Amino acid sequence: MNNLPIIILVLFFLDMYLSHSYIGMYKEKYPKNDWTLAESNPIIRFCIRKFDLDKGMFIGGMLITFILFVVFAIARVEILYMMIGMYWAVNVQHFVNNRAMKKLITKEVKK
């Protein structure tokens, strides 16, 4: 039980890193489009629109970290295991999106 919050926080910060990387690539590729739509978390999306990418990801990440600490204080072990599974799936999705965006960018550069 004691290590579960640490595992969730590591997965969460990995999620933030992968999100920032993917949104940054999307912003460079399509600067005129609404690149905030690449993120599905409404808190992060709001903060990015309000404060730009880097500062918005940091502020949104801190807000979500606070929410996670509240959940850690009141949640049962089953909820924490569910959160680990959720963040694992989200990180896999972000990794796949990052790889696809990199392939798209390198394919268009070769043309």
The model's confidence at residue 111, banded by pLDDT at 50, 70 and 90, is low
Note the pLDDT of residue 37. 79
In tens, the pLDDT along 30-85 reads: 888 888 877 888 999 999 999 988 999 999 999 999 998 888 888 888 888 988 99
Note the pLDDT of residue 80. 86
103 has a pLDDT exceeding 80? yes
DSSP labels, 20-57: HHHHHHHHHH-TTS-GGGG---HHHHHHHHHH-HHHHH
Enclosing domain of residue 58: 4-110
Q: Pseudo-torsion of CA 41, 45, 46, 48, nearest 10°? A: 140
The count of structural domains within the chain is 1
In tens, the pLDDT along 86-97 reads: 899 988 988 888
- CA-CA distance, 73 to 43, in Å (whole number)? 21
108 has a pLDDT exceeding 80? no
